[in-house]
Amino acid sequence: MTKSDLIATVAESAGLTKKDTEKVVSGLLAAITNALVSGDKVQIVGFGTFEVRDRKEREGRNPSNGKPMIIPASRVPAFKAGKSLKDAVSK
């Protein structure tokens, strides 16, 4: 599902125009992004939690030549599904 598919589906189920729904979806994504950038978690009860996780520096291999290389530490966004979402998907 693409962003435009999501907008169309939400607009239909909420009875809103696609233009208004696009503003809502874009605002939601921007709010989640801004919260993660500032180091906050975003928890949507019944859906899941968005958070930033720290990855340690580690050794990997260069795929083009197979030589070992150091992959630097980084911060990555992560999502952990809530119980309701897990149950809905597993049925």
| Residue boundaries of the structural domains of the chain | 1-39, 41-91
Least Cα distance to 22 among 35, 5, 36 occurs for: 5
Q: Does domain 41-91 have CATH number 3.20.20.80?
A: no
Q: Which residues contact 7 (CB under 8 A, 6 or more apart)?
A: 18, 21, 22, 25
Per-residue pLDDT for 24 more than 90? yes
In whole angstroms, what is the distance from residue 91 CA to residue 81 CA? 15
Phi, psi of 16 (to 5 degrees): -110, 165
Q: What is the pLDDT of residues 42-72, one digit of tens each?
A: 999 999 999 999 999 999 999 999 999 999 9
Q: pTM score > 0.95 for this model?
A: no
Least Cα distance to 52 among 68, 37, 72 occurs for: 37
